[in-house]
């Protein structure tokens, strides 16, 4: 079917006599069958679809060129549509108006003939050119209606049908060619797939051969494994027999060892009874030896005519600490750290115990809110009471470049020392501990770890300052 540029196959509807459709509705219904030839001049012929669309399109293009009084009432609204929307939305109204209004059709024909030039004039004269488009000729003939215009319509319809038939044949031929191309493509694909399958089959055959060879190897390995398993089972049975015999031997050995252990227990019990008897004998010998030593010490004191010493080593340290030699060697550790005041009481109860106190270390932990003078006075008063209760020799050491003046006299049983220039109270305390003879209990009160460790190495019993403070608060 032949259409002009800009024509839309859906632009127009069939021209039916007496038909008037609302503007904006497109009629796509099938055409009603009419007789091939009109019996009278007023009958509308059956138009081919292409011819009908071309007539509507030519009319829609011409509507804006008409005056308002030349436009039928139904088409005035259609004439205001946009050019592209006019034929599509008003096609039914245009077709109905052309069929029902000959005057309007004649007006449109005049405008169309004027716009189409020589072709329109030739068709209006009834002599269309042989080379003209049959659809265009049929549309112009329908509008101008020259003599023989129905024959022109029939010729246009025949030409359109031939063209449609040619197009259908061409489409079928193209489809057949496409089917042949698809068939060739499918055949090529099938050949490639067949070649691929042949290659895969060859590979599978090779793989089957390899699997058969591998299967033979695995069967051989299985036989070897079975033989090894049988050999291992025989070895396991033999090992179990050996283990059973070893278990029996072990049981016998355990019974023998138990008998020996029982004999050893009996021997140990006998040894314990003998040890108790020997310890009783040693205790008797030790008591007799101590009695002998005591009597010998009394005799030696009478023979040497030793008078009681007026000074102790601590008195000498307080006077000439720099010239006092310390004992050679290191005494064995005499005690352990303890913060319980009862531990201090136990140590002070030992014969000839010497209590050495790091003065400011104690007062700073117990009375740091007081002045130094008040701290010293409070500690000395407390220590005088403790010395009176225990009878132990008591020495309090304070840091000081020289002796403090204006101090009250030290109470009985309490010695108050101040470190000299260039030395500390810690050094005086260590010198006091070193000056004491091995065997005398010396108790050092200080929370300074260096003081505690140093005096412990020389045989003293270090206790914390908190221990003394709790003991004094209890008193």
pLDDT tens digits for 127-150?
A: 788 778 888 888 888 888 888 788
Predicted local confidence at residue 4, as pLDDT: 40
Q: What is the CATH number of domain 313-474?
A: 3.40.50
Cβ contact 467:344 at 8 Å: yes
Spatial strand order of the sheet with 393-398 comes to 414-418, 393-398, 354-358, 442-445, 461-463
Predicted local confidence at residue 407, as pLDDT: 66
Predicted local confidence at residue 334, as pLDDT: 41
pLDDT band at 306 (very low <50, low <70, confident <90, very high): low
pLDDT at 194 over 70: yes
Give the mean pLDDT of the chain: 79
pLDDT tens string 22-51: 333 333 333 333 333 333 445 677 778 888
pLDDT at 362 over 90: yes
Lowest-pLDDT choice from 271-275, 279-283, 323-327, 463-467: 323-327
Predicted local confidence at residue 309, as pLDDT: 58
pLDDT band at 8 (very low <50, low <70, confident <90, very high): very low
Domain with CATH 3.40.50 in the chain: 313-474
List of residues 6+ apart from 226 with CB closer than 8 A: none
473 bridge partner residues: none
pLDDT at 19 over 90: no
Q: 400 or 248: whose pLDDT is higher? A: 248
Predicted local confidence at residue 21, as pLDDT: 29
Q: 62 or 208: whose pLDDT is higher? A: 208
Lowest-pLDDT choice from 26-30, 200-204, 334-338: 26-30
Q: What is the spatial distance between Cα 338 and Cα 223, in angstroms, rounded to a whole number?
A: 81
């Amino acid at each position: 079917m032949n259409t002009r540029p800009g024509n839309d196959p859906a632009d127009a509807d069939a021209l039916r006599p007496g038909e008037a459709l609302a503007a904006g509705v497109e009629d796509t219904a099938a055409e009603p069958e009419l007789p091939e030839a009109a019996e009278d001049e007023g009958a509308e012929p059956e138009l081919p679809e292409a011819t009908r669309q071309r007539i509507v399109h030519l009319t829609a293009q011409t509507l804006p060129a008409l005056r308002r009084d030349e436009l039928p009432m139904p088409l005035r609204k259609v004439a205001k549509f946009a050019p592209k929307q006019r034929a599509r939305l008003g096609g039914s109204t245009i077709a109905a108006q052309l069929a029902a209004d000959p005057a309007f059709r004649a007006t449109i024909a005049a405008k169309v003939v004027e716009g189409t030039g020589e072709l329109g004039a030739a068709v209006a004269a009834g002599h269309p050119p042989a080379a003209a488009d049959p659809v265009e000729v049929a549309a112009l003939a329908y509008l101008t209606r020259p003599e023989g215009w129905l024959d022109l319509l029939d010729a246009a319809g025949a030409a359109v049908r031939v063209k449609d038939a040619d197009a259908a044949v061409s489409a079928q031929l193209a489809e057949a060619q496409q089917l042949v191309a698809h068939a060739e493509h499918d055949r090529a694909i099938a050949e490639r797939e067949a070649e691929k399958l042949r290659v895969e089959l060859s590979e599978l055959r090779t793989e089957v051969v390899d699997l058969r060879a591998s299967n033979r190897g695995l069967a051989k390995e299985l036989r070897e494994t079975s033989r090894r398993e049988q050999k291992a089972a025989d070895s396991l049975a033999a090992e179990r027999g050996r283990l059973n015999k070893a278990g029996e031997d072990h049981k016998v050995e355990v019974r023998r060892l138990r008998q020996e252990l029982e004999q050893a227990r009996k021997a140990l019990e006998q040894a314990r009874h003998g040890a108790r008897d020997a310890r009783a004998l040693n205790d008797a010998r030790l008591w007799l030896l101590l009695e002998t030593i005591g009597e010998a010490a009394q005799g030696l004191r009478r023979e040497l005519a030793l008078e009681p010493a007026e000074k102790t080593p601590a008195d000498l340290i307080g006077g000439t600490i720099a010239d006092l030699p310390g004992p050679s060697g290191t005494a064995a550790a005499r005690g352990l750290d303890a913060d319980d005041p009862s531990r201090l009481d136990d140590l002070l109860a030992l014969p000839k115990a010497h209590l050495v106190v790091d003065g400011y270390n104690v007062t700073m932990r117990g009375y740091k809110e007081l002045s130094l003078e008040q701290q010293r006075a409070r500690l000395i008063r407390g220590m005088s009471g403790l010395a009176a209760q225990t009878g132990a020799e008591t020495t309090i050491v304070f840091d000081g470049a020289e002796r403090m003046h204006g101090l009250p006299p030290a109470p009985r049983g309490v010695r108050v020392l101040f470190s000299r220039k260039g030395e500390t109270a810690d050094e005086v305390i260590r010198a006091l501990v070193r000056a004491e003879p091995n065997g005398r209990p010396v108790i050092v009160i200080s929370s300074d770890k260096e003081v505690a460790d140093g005096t412990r190495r020389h045989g003293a019993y270090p206790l914390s300052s908190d221990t003394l403070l709790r003991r004094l608060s209890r008193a």
